[in-house]
Structure 1
């Protein structure tokens, strides 16, 4: 009688989950990959969908298509409702029970409003394709409504856009918003001047890109200000509502507010019945398994892990891919009866952020790249990590076209918008 196959269930088809599944392609295992979406998303470029530089299909790919040539992977589009660690089963909202010999949790993180979840409706974040397309719609509709209104105060509010949080996402989004207004749409309206749009970047800390070397953070700030972005540091948000943002005694009326200030882990700790660490993250051992649950592993933004020097591993795509690859190789060795690799060792591959056309900051150890050279390096690195030859070609062409023409090709408003201002001419 043949031995039962070694069953691996992977929750989440982000960077960590995908890499774990790929690392098991030659292993004697049965992999079940579960995600609530049917696509893998390249999150670092979501802001370009939100600002009409790319289309959703340029940065997302069907999970089934990615694994069509890996027969030991079964893909399920389902949402997890709980995990029975005693019975070693994953429960889904559809009533499925998925047994496992090893479980890899890679469900990522979502927006953290630091105790003000009521702000989510008026200051959405940017984590999914739905988030990106909804933000794109809000941006474009704001310009259209500003063209209609006869009220100067309302027009200025409509043309004010606020990004909260000056990490890489906030910096890249603010720079892209400025280019959308000042370059892509500068000659397309007759009653307003899009280049007069006010883009405000608010940061509670004292500097931009706090995880980058200080000189690169200052370079990024100067580049944003050169594009017309108003960068305000040391400003803690105390209120968000439909009319704008309040920071202490300062009030900023705005039509569109985007949250890029923090993240909190998915509810995996609750599923597993373990005590979460900071920001809801799971504490893991040196091999990325959970203490007391050697058959359960966690990777990516969900994890509170440390590198060889005791420093926290950043919640970035390269870190998630390294974690996923390590766990995949460990499980492949375990299933085959080989000696498993040792402790996870994180290799820092640098930090990158673009501030828009011809401007980026890159930190590679002691090396620094800025300006046009940094921008080209940033672009090449992102194209390299895209899934599939077609996506690399399409994204490269879109960027080249935008670079030469200043145009944005994905500026369609495809859902019902809000009613026009009451003072609009008939």
Structure 2
């Protein structure tokens, strides 16, 4: 049978595992991604808080796939999909290129959702990219540095108040690590301020933290966070975010509450990649409220069996937006393509997700794990979390580097990755001089990526 051209969009878990799943198939695989790296997104918060370097969690995709002879990697932003002629249009800087396909796997992921308030992004970066993590690292550590020399007590208090919006795994992990920084890592390093005086406020609109983990683990996590000094605010909707404050409306209260803060983190909500809207325009497929593509039970698009959508961009009932979901979907789609390319019958069975459990860290030596009906917390949960995340980091070198960083950070109090530079600000100013205001959307190549420039705190 003639070799088929399989094009994969995205180098996250879905895209990478789809490519790997076709390594023994008689197909030509082209993986196109906006970045040349495979990002291990679950550990972004550790980059932001100085535990890991960005290179540890973002190995080069080319390096990962270098031994797969039927795969090639191209860096570019997909700007058009001609479904009638099965041709993609991609852009890399000022160069445009067209790539034909026989089968298309869209694993473009999702971005941060600000629930209709994109202006919040200026003051509260999300946690979806390396750029986000490095910017947050600079904001967090520089908040302490600026507080050390700030003569005004009110401004010093704002600098030492950190607000995290969203109490899912990312928000919980981020709040816990900032609290740990203030309580252990930075203690004794300043002469004017006491880092332990820092406030960490975690805000969520639901009635518990880690809602997907159930009430027992949610309550245990909240108790653990509060024992460590994190202020947990539930049943509260954030209504405004400015350079120096976050305002939220508690459920049942008449008046909103404003928390003065110069450093905010947004970890609430996701929205599908702009590629979802492009597919909807080209194919007539439907999107859910978060911009995710509603797919068939076999993960293909209605009326377009040659196109599969997987990972965070796909809306599949019962499948959470976690790495395991994307990996299982990728393997399922790759297997079906491999069978078809070999001329073998493809079974009619729909995709079925197997829940391998959920886990999140609270702080050093403390985590929560839920595997079916089994729930446990504490040190054993933390060890399980370490082992599983180390297992899924791509590349032997990245695993060893990550393990060494963990050894240094967790057996002591230090953080080896506290460096922040002016590189991102210089890049923003360079683009602004060309007439573009830089936001996370523009950096990701998405529509609507122009706004006022971000402040430095």
Residue 298 of structure 1: how far off its partner (Å): 0.5
Q: Give the equivalent residue in structure 1 for 2:116.
A: 115
Find out whether 1:298 has 2:304 as its counterpart: no
Matched positions, count: 411
- Report the CA distance shift for 1:287/1:357 in structure 2 as closer, same or farther (over 3 A): same
Confirm or deny: 8 A CA contact 1:6 1:335 kept in the other structure. yes
* Per-residue deviation, residues 78-116 of structure 1 (Å, max 9, x unmatched): 001011111111111232111110000000000111111
Where does structure 2 lack aligned partners over 5 or more consecutive residues?
Answer: 250-255, 426-457
**2:403 aligned with 1:396:** yes
Of 309, 315, 329, the match for 2:335: 329
Higher relative contact order (CA 8 A, sep 6+): 1
| Cα deviation 1:160-204 (Å, max 9, x = unaligned) | 000000001000000011111111111100110111110000001
Q: Which residue of 1 aligns with 2:295?
A: 284
Question: How far has the Cα of 1:128 moved from its partner?
Answer: 0.6
Offset at residue 268 of structure 1 (A): 2.1
Residue matched to 1:271:
278
Task: Check whether the contact 2:226–2:232 (CA below 8 A) recurs between aligned residues.
Answer: yes
Offset at residue 369 of structure 1 (A)? 1.6
Separation (CA, whole Å) in 2 of partners of 1:66 and 1:359: 32
Q: How does 1:4-403 map to 2 (within 5 A)?
A: 4-93=2-91, 94-248=95-249, 249-272=256-279, 273=281, 274-306=285-317, 312-341=318-347, 342-403=349-410
* Deviation, structure 1 residue 416: 6.8
Secondary structure of 1:139's aligned partner: helix
Deviation at 1:417?
A: 10
Q: Distance in 2 between matches of 1:209 and 1:332?
A: 38
Maintained 8 Å contact 1:269/1:275: no
Change (3 A) 1:416 1:302: closer
Contact 2:277/2:291 (8 A) holds in 1: no
Deviation at 1:269, TM superposition (A): 2.6
**Ranges of 4+ aligned residues in structure 1 off by more than 6 Å:** none
Higher alpha-carbon deviation: 274-283 or 284-293: 274-283
Counterpart secondary structure, 2:324: helix
Secondary structure (helix, strand or coil) at the match of 2:15 reads helix
Q: 1 CA distance for matches of 2:173 and 2:23?
A: 35
- Alpha-carbon separation, structure 1, partners of 2:39 and 2:68: 19
Can you give the 5+ residue segments of structure 1 that lack an aligned partner in the other structure? 307-311, 419-426
Maintained 8 Å contact 1:141/1:417:
no
CA distance in 2 between partners of 1:261 and 1:334 (Å): 40
Give the whole-Å Cα distance in 2 for the aligned partners of 1:405 and 1:209: 28
- Aligned-residue Cα RMSD (Å) equals 1.3
Q: Distance in 2 between matches of 1:202 and 1:292?
A: 43
Displacement of 1:353: 0.6
Distance in 2 between residues matched to 1:96 and 1:8, nearest whole Å: 16
Q: What does residue 422 of structure 1 align with?
A: none
| Post-superposition CA distance 1:322-361 (Å, at most 9, x none) | 0011111111111111122432111001010100111100
Asked if 1 retains the 8 angstrom alpha-carbon contact of 2:59 and 2:398, the reply is: no
Once residues 226 and 278 of structure 1 are traced to their aligned partners in structure 2, the CA distance between those partners, rounded to angstroms, is: 37
Q: CA deviation at 1:275?
A: 2.7
* Contact 1:162-1:202 within 8 A present in 2 as well: yes
In 2: Cα distance, 1:139 partner to 1:269 partner: 33
Displacement, 1:255?
0.8
Looking at structure 2, the residues matched to 264 and 176 of structure 1 have their Cα atoms a distance apart, in angstroms, of: 25
Q: CA deviation at 1:278?
A: 2.8
Q: Alignment partner for residue 406 of structure 1, among 403, 406, 413?
A: 413
Deviations 1:200-228 (Å, cap 9, x if unpaired)?
A: 00001111011111100011101111111
